Chains A and B, each alone.
Chain A
Amino acid sequence: MHPNVKIKVVLISVFVATLSSCVSVKEYQKNRINDSEMELSARKSEKFEQSFYLYREGASGANGGKSGGGCGCN
């Protein structure tokens, strides 16, 4: 099997396993989920790190940073 196909299979398996193992969490049980350190998006303090990854690495996207606009060619 091609490595890229393997990765997709693993990601889809994790996705399906996650959805099937979820429990219903009530609002009053979300004190940990709502903790500021638990944010799923990139933090404000990571804003400029996201930019330099975009310029100094060829891969981009799916990380909370922008995927276009601006040159960054220096």
Chain B
Amino acid sequence: MKKITYTVAALLSFFGSARAQSTDTTGYQPKKLKIEEVNFVSGYYSQNGNNSAITGGIGTEKLYDFANSLEIRLSKTDRRNRVHTISGEVNIDFYSSASQDNIDPLTISSASRTDKHIYPSLSWNMKNDANHTTKGATFSYSTEYDYKSLGFGINFSKSSKDNNREITLKANTFQDTYTVILPSDLRPSGYSSGAEGDKSNLYYKPRNTYNGSIALSQVVNKSLQLLFITEPTYQEGLLSTPFHRTYFTDGSEKVEKLPGSRFKLPLGIRGSYFVGDRVVLRGFYRFYADNWGMTAHTVSLEAPVKITPFLSLSPFYRFNSQNGVKYFAAYKQHSPDATYYTSDYDLSSFQSHFGGLGIRLAPPGGVMGIRHFASIEVRYGHFYRNAGTGMQSDMLTMAVKFK
């Protein structure tokens, strides 16, 4: 709690000094770069199950992840009245995965292995009200112990003259590099373990992702708006996870093997409907198919209820049903003749449920009377998936916004 208080105090003092700088030395306020908003999101995720892919579909899946994100959004209006928005974001996850101990159980003795995942991003958007367009670009980077990712994306939007309809086009690529760390029992002679001090003889493999999206949003009437979206994605390179084991019916064991390319096609529709004066219904449906044989349907509904104009309670429920990829089989169920094989239950057939409650406070004078503290939202959800022997997780998130 102390840490949160210090963080909020630091943000407020930073915010205050930035405001002080922007309050006029030239007398021409619209041309100055100003802080639009600051978002801080912190989440704690905890899961448990007994179908880890690292041990071939059996064994602990116990894991926690403490994720934090800080975003600062700046804006500036140029001489042609175009609004430029620059957003810088830093994300840091601290996680512990009990199953990762089992990559090399002889050399790692901790109860669970910990790692950091750091992923900053920088984006720029330029909105031009004269021709109702927005253009932008995003650059991102991600690093973990055995994984690096570079991302680049561009986007373009055009809205109708009455701003009731908007089409958005996006194109992104992620150029990733995987350090091939193999399970100790499947390592060729002389191959490094990947541990600190033993990295001299390792393979590094690429995993590249290309995706585009087309989204059309439409205001239907004074209380209803809809969004249609499709986001085709193509991936190539090492798409299997090198430290996942698979066990075969003849008792043999190999590293997971999956095809070197994958094409995914999701189609989604999202809607928001204001019912009466106090209730909003937010719905989402997605159909998904890929060329590994997976199909999925996802439905979610959230119903924010305005207890007062500035306090909302939001119960939510999400259901997902997927048919697994054709390369999946459980522990010791794979044929020794199979070309591709995995025992990763994330890729199996299952139904999952995620339900919970969010509370959002956004008073006009600021939270606790602090003017720039625009809103705070706390959200808790419980997840259950019926794959294998079942997996459960819990997630608690806090999001605060300063304006």
Contacts and interface: CB of A to CB of B under 8 A. Distances in A.
User: Interface of chain B, helix or strand or loop or mixed?
Assistant: strand
Nearest to A56: B346
A47 B395 contact: no
Contacts of A44: 39, 41, 377, 399, 401
A37 B377 contact: no
B211 interface: yes
Given A11-B269, A57-B346, A22 B45 contact: no
Interface in B125-165: 140, 142, 144, 146-147, 149, 151, 162-165
A23 interface: yes
Interface in A29-74: 29-30, 32-33, 35-40, 43-49, 51-53, 55-63, 67-71, 73-74
Interface residues of B, number: 103
9 closest cross-chain pairs (CB), A and B: A68-B209, A62-B268, A59-B296, A69-B174, A62-B266, A74-B97, A59-B288, A48-B43, A61-B266
B233 A67 contact: yes
| Residue in A27, A29, A57 with the greatest tally of chain B CB atoms within 10 Å | A57
Nearest to B226: A18
B149 A70 contact: yes
Nearest to B378: A45
A40 B115 CA distance: 34
Interface residues of A, number: 51
A25 B221 contact: yes
B175 to A, nearest CB: 9
A58 B324 contact: yes
Given A45-B399, A58-B325, A69 B280 contact: no
Contacts of A48: 41, 43, 45, 65, 67, 69, 395, 397
Contacts of A25: 162, 164, 219, 221-222
Nearest to A45: B399
Contacts, number: 219
Contact of A69 (B95, B151, B228, B352): B151
B217 interface: yes
A40 B360 CA distance: 17
Contact of B144 (A4, A37, A51, A71): A71
Interface in B220-236: 220-223, 225-231, 233, 235
Given A62-B286, A63-B298, A38 B280 contact: yes
A15 B228 contact: yes
Contacts of A55: 346
A68 B211 contact: yes
A15 B286 CA distance: 14
Contacts of A73: 147, 241, 243-244
Nearest to B298: A59
A30 B268 contact: no
A52 B93 CA distance: 12
Contacts of A61: 211, 213, 231, 233, 264, 266, 268, 286, 288
Contacts of A60: 233, 264, 266, 288
B15 interface: no
A1 interface: no
Contact of B222 (A14, A19, A32): A32
Contacts of A49: 354, 381, 395, 397
Given A7-B287, A48-B45, A70-B117, 13 more contacts: A7-B267, A11-B287, A32-B222, A33-B225, A35-B274, A37-B312, A45-B379, A61-B233, A61-B286, A62-B266, A62-B268, A67-B209, A70-B149
B317 interface: no
Contact of B322 (A11, A29, A58, A67): A58
